[in-house]
Structure 1
Amino acid sequence: MLICLSASHKNSSFDVLEKLSVGASASADRMLERHTSLSGAVIVATCNRFEAYLDLDEPFGVSPLPAVSAAIEAISASTGVAADTLRDTLDLVHGNGVAEHLFAVTSGLESVVVGEGEIAGQVRRALEQARAHGTTSGELERLFQRASQTSRGVKNRTGIGAAGRSLVRLALELAESRVSDWAETRVLLVGTGRYAGASLAALRDLGAENVRVYSPSGRALKFARSHGIDAVPELAFAREAAECDLILTCTTVDHHVIDAALLGAGRALLAEREALQDGVTLLVSPADAAGVAAADAAADAVGDADRPAAAIDAPRQLIIDLGLPRNVDPDVSLVPGIELLDLETIRIHAPLEELNSTSEARQLVTRAARKFTAVTEEQSLAPAVVALRSYVFDILDAEIGRARGRGDASEQTEAALRHLAGVLLHTPMVRSRSLARAGEQESFLTGLDALFGIQVSLPAAGTAQAGQEATPDSAPDAGTAAS
């Protein structure tokens, strides 16, 4: 049985999603350790979503709640989010609904920006990570691979995502009202991952030419060389952060890269540089600079008339934080001249769905999910079908052997007997698919037992494997049955 535990921008607070993003990768291993019937787990963790896809190796009809409880305890242990909070937050999807949910997620239909393209890659990488950790399963592999195929089909056949909209582009669209000329805007990009590449491409599409990159993990130089921009070294980071017009952060580190103290120190360095250029020595420590920034923030609440000149002349800067956990400490909002645009703010301004394209895309997703479910249901009876075919062909082979023993070794006789066996099996095969799709597997099993004495134990829901051991109650002697 497939299970999905889902927290997203639709049912969870930003603070909870941020906590879930920390330690998410360790959740899968802990889930499998806590419940022996869980045969696979894949975690999809993005800036607006945390989802656990589980493969429960239990017979049909068994309640998934014990496995769900174990999974919640594992998530709590890995992320630090209280189990009670998770129970109130996580939506449960199980059985046939899991495929449609994942297909919709992968196609961008459940994203903040409907149709955004990043999610498909994030889902694909979630499967790759599960493979690397050995936590996936055959059924989860099939589910996620089909999700990727569905996403490509939706993208190619509908208008969803045609404008190339994404979370990055939406953030920059919201920033445009604050930018008079992108070509003259000094931009600092913090991070060198996949989002950084998408961010740089979006900035260039808008006309930004003056872009620099800084990496907390030391990868800035390599990224800069491959993208034709300048890298910012560690010692120059504070000054650059204070000097640029726009900072866009999208790094995966689990701590704040930018805060009020850093910006204060950077502004102090800029002031010192300007003073030296004017022939004056001015030394301000980072701690003093942070104190000045806080004082200016307090004065800001009083009004321009009572604010010091340094605060009135503070540079206007926009910071876009696309990181989860947050890359930017919220205290930067206390620094004069700073405006912070984070994920929580961005999702409030997400555009309405394009109804026609979305409707068409959901139809494609629904059809793909139904097909996936039909195949799964058909596979659930595979052991019974194999058992019936083995039963019939064992009788057939025995009868052919008897015929040869009597001196009848003609190819025509053998061909006729094999054709007859195929004809006799055709209707049971068709009926097995029909009954499986209707969820009436038990009817087929009862018929096999009643007519042939074949007893089959089906594998767990969603993990059917052909070739499962099946034994007749009392398989008749082939020669007796044929005589």
Structure 2
Amino acid sequence: MLICLSANHKNSSFDVLEKLSVGAPGTAGGIIERYPTLSGAVIVATCNRFEAYLDLDEPDGASPLEAVQAAIAGVSAGTGVTADVLRETLDFVHGNGVAEHLFAVTSGLESVVVGEGEIAGQVRRSLEEARERGTTTPELERLFQRASQTSRGVKNRTGIGAAGRSLVRLALQLAETRIVDWATARVLLVGTGRYAGASLAALRDLGVTDVRVYSPTGRAAKFAGSHGITPVSERAFALEADRADLILTCTTVEHHVVTAALLRAGAAANEDAGTGAEPEAPAARRLIIDLGLPRNVAPDVTEIPGVELLDLETIRIHAPLEELNATSEARLLVGRAARKFSAVAEEQSLAPAVVALRSHVFDLLDSEIERARAHGDDTEQTERALRHLASVLLHTPMVRSRELARAGEQAAFTGGLDALFGIRVESGSGAGGQAAAAGPTAPGIRSVRADDAASIA
């Protein structure tokens, strides 16, 4: 059974998302350790969401309540966010709804900027990190790989991402009223991580040519060399921060990189060197865009005259409305992909029963062939005829197994095997749990199911 616990820009405060992001790396292992049948976990943590995708190895119809509570305890222990806050914040998705939710997330349909392109890469990296930590399962692998395929299909077949929209581009769009001339703007890029490349590309599209990069982790020279810009050393960071018209931060370090103290030190150093701003220069001349989570910029920078801070909370408020046609088409594709994913999972859930039936029939077949040989009938024609008969007899049960699985009626097939042949197969778990009613919802957690198939189609 697949489960998703989701905190995002729609149901959580920025402060909660920031804490969840900081503690995200080690959370998966802590969740799995707390419940014996939680076999896998993949954590997706971005600047606007924290989601735990879990594989619960329980029989069909089992309640996930205890597993959810254990997962919440694991997230709380790893991030420092109290269990009570998590229960009030997290959305709970289970069963068939998990695939549709992840496919929509990966396609950018649940982002602040609908259709933004960065999220697909972030989801892909989340799976890679889970692999490195050994917390994936075959079903989670299939889920995330299918999510990546779906996002590519949505991108190629709809206009939802045609304009190259992203959080970075929205931030720069909001900055246009503060920057007089992009061609002459001096920009300091802080960070070489998840948004740095996209930020640089967006700046160049606006006509910016003077870009310098500083990395608090020492990667500035490498990034600058591969992108044709100027690296900034630790010693020169404060000076360059004071000289920049725009500072754009996108690093993943867990402390404030740009502070009021840094800007004051840079101003003092530039003044001593005679390279500071002229007294008659306009006060409101420096804009700082903070795309980091946790925050890269200390709130006290706004105490300095002429400095304006544009952070993720502000950007989120100004996110544009969805383009209805493109979004509707994209959600149609996501719904279809989710139904196909679930149909395959349902078929796989009956695999043990199908294998048991085939084994039963072919064991009988082998016995009959041996009996015939013992009575002197060892011709190839006899063996061929018996094997053909077995295949004909198995054809209809194989077809019906797929039909019943897709209809969520696995019990009818397994019950028939027991009644007719005495073959007993344990109820499926993992993929097979997708069709099962998942039991009551954990107190204080909203249960979110995918839309009914008829309403999507």
Give the Cα–Cα distance (whole angstroms) in 2 for the partners of residues 377 and 170 of structure 1: 41
Q: Secondary structure at the match of 1:108?
A: coil
When the two chains are superposed, the root-mean-square deviation of aligned CA atoms in Å is 1.7
Match of 1:394 in 2: 363
Which deviations, in whole Å up to 9, do the C-alpha atoms of 1:236-260 show, x marking residues without a partner?
A: 1111101110000000000000011
Q: Is the 8 A contact 1:383 1:458 kept in 2?
A: no
Structure 2, unmatched stretches of 5+, are 434-457
Give the Cα–Cα distance (whole angstroms) in 2 for the partners of residues 163 and 332 of structure 1: 33
Structure 1, unmatched stretches of 5+, are 278-308, 465-483
Which deviations, in whole Å up to 9, do the C-alpha atoms of 1:78-101 show, x marking residues without a partner?
A: 111111000000000001100000
Give the Cα–Cα distance (whole angstroms) in 2 for the partners of residues 310 and 50 of structure 1: 46
> Is 1:270 matched with 2:270?
yes
Give the Cα–Cα distance (whole angstroms) in 2 for the partners of residues 311 and 106 of structure 1: 49
Q: Which amino acid aligns with 2:234?
A: E
Q: Deviation above 3 Å: which 4+ runs of structure 1?
A: 309-315
Q: Which amino acid aligns with 1:180?
A: V
Which deviations, in whole Å up to 9, do the C-alpha atoms of 1:215-241 show, x marking residues without a partner?
A: 001111111111111111111111110
The change in CA–CA distance for 1:210 and 1:312 in structure 2 (over 3 A counts) is: closer
Give the Cα–Cα distance (whole angstroms) in 1 for the partners of residues 147 and 257 of structure 2: 35
Q: Secondary structure at the match of 1:188?
A: strand
The change in CA–CA distance for 1:445 and 1:245 in structure 2 (over 3 A counts) is: same
**Bigger radius of gyration, 1 or 2?**
1
The change in CA–CA distance for 1:172 and 1:313 in structure 2 (over 3 A counts) is: closer
Q: Is the 8 A contact 2:284 2:308 kept in 1?
A: no
Please identify, of 130-139 and 264-273, the stretch whose mean Cα deviation from structure 2 is larger: 264-273
Match of 1:436 in 2: 405
Shift of 1:312: 8.3
Which deviations, in whole Å up to 9, do the C-alpha atoms of 1:299-336 show, x marking residues without a partner?
A: xxxxxxxxxx9798545100000000000011111111
The change in CA–CA distance for 1:463 and 1:427 in structure 2 (over 3 A counts) is: closer
Shift of 1:423: 1.2
Match of 1:80 in 2: 80
Shift of 1:413: 2.1
Match of 1:449 in 2: 418
1:88-103 matched pairs, under 5 angstroms: 88-103=88-103
Q: Is the 8 A contact 2:243 2:276 kept in 1?
A: no
1:25-424 matched pairs, under 5 angstroms: 25-274=25-274, 314=283, 316-424=285-393
Match of 2:451 in 1: none
Give the Cα–Cα distance (whole angstroms) in 1 for the partners of residues 240 and 275 of structure 2: 17
Quick one: percent identity of the two aligned structures? 76
Give the Cα–Cα distance (whole angstroms) in 1 for the partners of residues 62 and 432 of structure 2: 14
Which deviations, in whole Å up to 9, do the C-alpha atoms of 1:146-177 show, x marking residues without a partner?
A: 11111111111111101111111111111112
Q: Secondary structure at the match of 1:75?
A: helix
Q: Which amino acid aligns with 2:416?
A: G
Q: Secondary structure at the match of 1:51?
A: strand
Q: Which amino acid aligns with 1:96?
A: N
Q: Secondary structure at the match of 2:54?
A: strand
Q: Which amino acid aligns with 2:411?
A: E
Which deviations, in whole Å up to 9, do the C-alpha atoms of 1:121-169 show, x marking residues without a partner?
A: 1001000000000001111001001111111111111111011111111
Give the Cα–Cα distance (whole angstroms) in 2 for the partners of residues 356 and 388 of structure 1: 48
Q: Which amino acid aligns with 1:11?
A: N
Q: Is the 8 A contact 2:350 2:410 kept in 1?
A: yes
Structure-2-length-normalised TM-score: 0.92
Give the Cα–Cα distance (whole angstroms) in 2 for the partners of residues 190 and 402 of structure 1: 79
Give the Cα–Cα distance (whole angstroms) in 2 for the partners of residues 449 and 276 of structure 1: 85
The change in CA–CA distance for 1:454 and 1:311 in structure 2 (over 3 A counts) is: farther
Q: Secondary structure at the match of 2:264?
A: helix
Q: Is the 8 A contact 2:246 2:286 kept in 1?
A: yes
Q: Is the 8 A contact 1:139 1:463 kept in 2?
A: no
Q: Which amino acid aligns with 2:318?
A: H
Q: Which amino acid aligns with 1:445?
A: T
The change in CA–CA distance for 1:188 and 1:153 in structure 2 (over 3 A counts) is: same
Give the Cα–Cα distance (whole angstroms) in 1 for the partners of residues 203 and 379 of structure 2: 77
Give the Cα–Cα distance (whole angstroms) in 1 for the partners of residues 282 and 399 of structure 2: 80
Q: Secondary structure at the match of 1:42?
A: strand
Q: Is the 8 A contact 1:57 1:463 kept in 2?
A: no
Specify which structure has the bigger relative contact order, considering alpha-carbon pairs within 8 angstroms and separated by 6 or more residues. Answer: 2
Match of 1:288 in 2: none
Give the Cα–Cα distance (whole angstroms) in 2 for the partners of residues 39 and 172 of structure 1: 43
Q: Which amino acid aligns with 1:214?
A: Y
Q: Is the 8 A contact 1:28 1:135 kept in 2?
A: yes
Shift of 1:272: 1.4
Which deviations, in whole Å up to 9, do the C-alpha atoms of 1:90-127 show, x marking residues without a partner?
A: 00000110000000000111011111111111001000
